[in-house]
Amino acid sequence: MLFNSVFFITTFLPLALLGWYLLQQLNNPIYAKVFLVGMSLWFYGYYNPWYLCVLLLSLFGNYGCSVLFEKVREQKKRKMVLALGLFVNVGLLFYFKYFNFFIDNCNYFLHTDISIEKIALPLGISFFTFQQISFIIDRYQQTAPDYTFVDYVCFVTYFPQLIAGPIVLHSEFLPELSARKNRKVDWELFFDGVMLFILGLGKKVLLADMLAVVVNAEFANVAYLDGVSAWVTIICYMLELYFDFSGYCDMARGIGKMFGFHLPENFNSPLMATSVKDFWRRWHMTLSRFLTTYIYIPLGGNRQGKWKKCRNLLVVFLVSGLWHGANWTFVVWGLLHGAAMVWEALFPKLRFRQEALSRLCTGIYVTLTFAIFRSDSLAQAGQLFRQLFTGGNTGFFAGMCNTLQFPETYAVVKALEMVAPQLLNPFYMACMLLLLGIALWLVRGKRAEVWIEEKGRTWKGLTTVAILFIWAFVSLSQVSTFLYFNF
């Protein structure tokens, strides 16, 4: 189920909120928790109920490890339980996400001819797997209490963060789940949640989906791009990815506030970063936190000298690349970000003195590496880079802009076709430049919650959000899936 759908906004979310707060009035909060689990499972299995089997298998396996930790006190046996839990999680992830990739590479490098059917990737498996890995490691380290099964299932399946994050820790969610104060509506928090949801919806529907039209069309025609259109395409993709994913997270956090929960922040103006290290402090912050806490620090972090620190950084970003997908493009993307982190660790003083130049160079590097991330293969990425640097200017940009045909411009386009058809191309180019201008201006703007705090309760702020909601809601027929559903 999508947040940006008529059914979710008009039926599912109101029903979930109504049931949650009505059942919270009963003396035993377990009824509300079971209801929330049921709604979350409905949300997850809406398109493909078979995905529920994978999710439930993962839930029972990990909770079984949690129970074993409570019964086993000997350290050696606890390590065995941890190893079992990690094996179950990584095994599930490997089978559903990487097994086809593994077989394809075996066939290529070993000249074998193994043939298997394509394995469907369950939605959000990377997210709920990492969330549960963090939980069983915390249980092993005795920093997580022995939660009830219902509480644990609520924690993992809570629908706003189930499919595409943010990656939530048990300590961030479960205390609020059981807090008595959350059994009544906090209207101020609820208001903030509605505002944050609408701002996220606007990011997704009015920006990311518009940019996606251009990106999808041009990545399907990489060979025909000239230098100008190739650069515009990768900039559009970087902006699309940012507004798509940050919009999803704003909606998820907004829904969380409506239920009385504070989900962790996942983005903090990442495209304003002054270095790759700074970028990863701001981009997908909960993934960075997971990789730092559960991989980088256990490997030794920066405590064992500069060279081992560099090794650990490369390992972390290799894992990050593989986590995103089973393709060599993700591996290369991860290693390039790891290499940049190593460079910054080895040569910390090699920086521009001007902050604007640091931001520009970081933005160019990140955008170029994400062009590889978006490519279907390394061959396509190589072709795209040839177009970027040797494509020249053949005038393809004007034709590229013609893909921006939306209902909002229908009347203007029809009028120009009848009165001044020679102005159609300039009009489409103006639309493209306007879209890019708005997107780049918003990238530099305040974070959504800061804007809500400062202007959300003014008449100007309320009017802006109301118009944004109506515009986005009317445009829901054009929706596309969230990009991070693929990961």
* C-alpha pair distances (Å), 123 with each of 126, 435, 481, 483: 8, 31, 11, 11
Q: Check if 324 is active-site.
A: yes
Residues 301 and 141: beta-carbon distance below 8 Å: no
Q: Among all chains, which residue has been given the structure tokens 């177009």?
A: 387
Of the candidates 111, 262, 284, 324, the residue annotated as catalytic is: 324
- Which token pair is 371? 């062009």
What torsion, rounded to 10 degrees, do the Cα atoms 196, 198, 204, 206 define? -140
Task: Please give the single-letter amino acid code of residue 303.
Answer: R
Q: Active-site residue numbers? A: 324
